[in-house]
């Protein structure tokens, strides 16, 4: 089989049981099985329904403000002296990140299935804000689960969610971060499954979530591919995106999977450095296992217990990763690398000063690796970096590192 054939087959995944090779699946307690079967059936029907798609596209255009620009960062590219860097400006979306692409889609599913209440987990708070936003617009009751540590380091987003009418639960169990928020959201869902739609924020969780979150975010890659062809008359040589759960990366990568000439880099959170063990880079340094409804790479100890992660960015502070990424790693279609906190902060400052764009710390992981990659390439080559979110929410964190109270 040729490489191109293999890559074309990637577009057929997942299989009917939600598997991407050995990864994915539906590992949940029995109470949730029926809700997931129902969701899968609904999604399979609606994703082929022109009326549903038209409503989704209309919301993306008029509410989110799509298409987002593909911006040539000329000055930064010149300073780095390597490949031309193009930024996919998901930071310009309504609510400030790619997360809203998915919450618009899932809120429409909630509406079509008649569920009056939505819940979500959130790390940095971007997904929580995006969920609270669409819930406000559709008049849905909304409750958000957020690790108690994240509530502290992302207080601005917590207040935004409250202004939007959501109830925010600070989760104090376990490591008090994103994984614990997801445990708590699953517990709420199991209890209120009759009237509640769980809006998962990333391409992880039980089938069909990894598939539908990918599909809703694929608008990023479809636009970027078309913009690249229209603006530059060619495809890019490489794509770079940060990976926590991996929804912005999957959204960018998916429409390019068949384009053999396009290299792809997923950048995980290196924390204090992958070599120190204090990081959130399961694809770089974890092992396959089962958590939160799917089989994927996980950060775990010798007894199979999930271990605590470390990252300057709350949105990437997660011990697992979407199962499709796990498969793309194994077959070698995407290269997974890590950027540590120090490199990330430097990239955050650099883009802000050189281009006047303040990126989210999550997105700064992609920038940190992208700048190195650019420097290893020729000026006639092109890189697209997914600027998945804006950095306003991180100002307190960065100021804190600088010893300044804002």
Partner 1 sequence: MTRIEEKFAALNADGKKALIPYITGGDPKPEYTENLMHALVESGADMLELGMPFSDPMADGPVIQKACERALGAGASVQGVLDIVESFRKTDSITPVVLMGYLNPIEHMGYDVFAANAKKAGVDGVLLVDLPPEEADDVVPVFKASGIDTIFLVAPTTTEARAAKIAAHASGYLYYVSVKGVTGSATLDVDEVGRKLAGLRQLTDVPLAVGFGIRDGASAAAVSQVADGVIVGSVLVNCIAELADTPEKIAPALQERIKEMRLAMDA
**Which parts of this chain interact with partner 1 (CB under 8 A)?**
17, 25-35, 37, 173-174, 179-180, 182-183, 186-187, 190-194, 287, 289-293, 298, 300, 302-307
Residue closer to partner 1, measured from CB, 193 or 354:
193
Residue closer to partner 1, measured from CB, 32 or 257:
32
Q: At what angle do helices 30-46 and 178-191 cross, to 10 degrees?
A: 90
- Copy the structure tokens of residue 134: 């669409």
* Cis, peptide link before residue 14, omega less than 30° from 0: yes
Residue closer to partner 1, measured from CB, 306 or 346:
306
Q: Whole-number minimum distance, CB 16 to partner 1, in Å?
A: 10
Taking residue 29's Cβ as centre, other Cβ atoms within 10 Å add up to 9
Nearest partner of 325 among 401, 385, 396, 250, judged by Cα: 250
* 269-274-278-282 Cα dihedral, nearest 10 degrees: 60
Strand order in the sheet with 23-27: 19-20, 23-27, 293-298, 287-291
Query: Does 115 participate in catalysis according to the annotation?
Result: no
d(CA 75, CA 328): 33
Do residues 241 and 253 make contact, with C-beta atoms less than 8 angstroms apart? Answer: yes
Which residue reads 């991996």 in tokens? 246
d(CA 185, CA 120): 6
- Annotated catalytic residue, options 40, 68, 90, 99: 99
Q: Whole-number minimum distance, CB 192 to partner 1, in Å?
A: 8
* 85-379-269-147 Cα dihedral, nearest 10 degrees: -10
Query: Does 372 participate in catalysis according to the annotation?
Result: no
Residue closer to partner 1, measured from CB, 59 or 188:
188
Query: Does 287 participate in catalysis according to the annotation?
Result: no
Q: Whole-number minimum distance, CB 350 to partner 1, in Å?
A: 37
Residue closer to partner 1, measured from CB, 221 or 293:
293
Q: Give the catalytic positions in this structure.
A: 99, 121, 388
């Amino acid at each position: 089989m040729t490489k191109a054939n293999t890559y074309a087959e990637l577009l057929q995944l997942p299989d009917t049981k939600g598997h991407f090779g050995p990864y994915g699946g539906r590992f949940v307690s029995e109470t949730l099985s029926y809700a997931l079967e129902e969701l899968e059936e609904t999604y399979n029907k609606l994703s082929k329904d022109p009326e549903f798609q038209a409503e989704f596209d209309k919301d993306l255009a008029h509410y989110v403000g799509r298409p987002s620009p593909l911006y040539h960062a000329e000055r930064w590219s010149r300073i780095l002296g390597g490949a031309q860097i193009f930024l996919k400006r998901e930071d310009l979306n309504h609510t400030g990140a790619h997360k809203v692409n998915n919450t618009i889609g899932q809120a429409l599913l909630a509406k079509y299935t008649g569920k009056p209440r939505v819940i979500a987990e959130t790390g940095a708070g971007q997904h929580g804000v995006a969920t609270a936003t669409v819930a406000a617009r559709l008049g849905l009751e909304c409750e958000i689960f957020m690790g108690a540590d994240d509530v502290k380091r992302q207080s601005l987003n917590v207040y935004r969610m409250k202004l939007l009418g959501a109830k925010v639960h600070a989760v104090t169990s376990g490591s008090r971060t994103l994984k614990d928020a997801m445990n708590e959201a699953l517990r709420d869902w199991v209890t209120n499954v009759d009237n509640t739609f769980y809006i998962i924020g990333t391409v992880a969780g039980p089938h069909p979530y990894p598939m539908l979150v990918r599909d809703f975010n694929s608008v990023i890659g479809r636009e970027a591919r078309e913009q690249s062809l229209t603006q530059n008359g060619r495809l890019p040589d490489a794509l770079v995106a940060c990976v926590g759960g991996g929804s912005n990366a999957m959204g960018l990568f998916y429409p390019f999977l068949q384009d053999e000439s396009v290299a792809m880099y997923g950048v995980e959170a290196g924390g204090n450095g992958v070599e120190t063990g204090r990081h959130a880079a399961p694809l770089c340094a974890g092992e396959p296992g089962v958590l939160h409804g799917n089989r994927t790479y996980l950060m775990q100890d010798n007894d199979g217990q999930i271990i605590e992660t470390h990252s300057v960015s709350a949105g990437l502070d997660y011990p697992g990763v979407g199962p499709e990424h796990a498969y793309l790693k194994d077959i070698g279609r995407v290269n997974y690398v890590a950027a540590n906190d120090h490199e990330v902060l430097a990239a955050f400052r650099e883009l802000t000063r050189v281009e006047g764009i303040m990126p989210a710390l999550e997105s700064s992981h992609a920038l940190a690796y992208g700048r190195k990659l650019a420097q290893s390439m020729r000026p006639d080559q092109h890189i697209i970096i997914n600027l998945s979110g804006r950095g306003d929410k991180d100002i307190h964190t960065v100021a804190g590192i600088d010893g300044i109270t804002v």
